[in-house]
Amino acid sequence: MIIKRPSRVWLMALLIPCHGWVYADIPTHTEKLLKLDKAKAAHPNMQIIKHFEPTDHTNQDRILYKVPPDKTTYTMTINAKTGEIIQDHPYRNPQKTSLYDLGILKNELQQKYSIQKINKTTLKYSENRLIRTLYCTGKYKQKVTVVTDAFNGNIIRVEKD
């Protein structure tokens, strides 16, 4: 015998201690459509590309859309509960930046710190920037750890063992 699981709304109504029937604040399909209708009122012929639901810490929906005669993509931020438009502006792709060349960095380290070989490199975000850590072998097989900024190659610190 297969027992069907009750819907989430029904479970939430059972779990909430209250007087009478109270349903949880779960947006329904019609509420989503009403929010999108308010957004379409601002641009009647908009074509929605993607609709992003709000996350736990925000109360905002984000909509990516195009207006047919224009080829520009726009982003609109709306209040998740009321559907009011908070922001509406053209979407800009994040800037593509390249990392500092490892070959150039190796030449600089050979001149400054007598680095013979780079054994391992790692990249991670720290202090709101991308950090490259180089594990190297120096003169006389000495272990050297060099921490640099990954985009401009500035040396942050050097540790010799």
Q: What is the pLDDT of residues 2-12, one digit of tens each?
A: 555 555 544 44
Collapsed DSSP state (helix, strand, coil) of residue 15: helix
- What span, in angstroms and rounded, lies between the C-alpha atoms of 87 and 70? 19
For residue range 80-130, list pLDDT tens digits in order. Answer: 777 788 888 888 776 667 889 999 999 999 999 889 899 999 999 887 889
The label of the residue with tokens 């601002």 reads: 42
Full set of structural domains in the chain with CATH:
27-90 (3.10.450), 102-160 (3.10.450.40)
Contact (Cβ atoms closer than 8 angstroms) between residue 16 and residue 22: yes
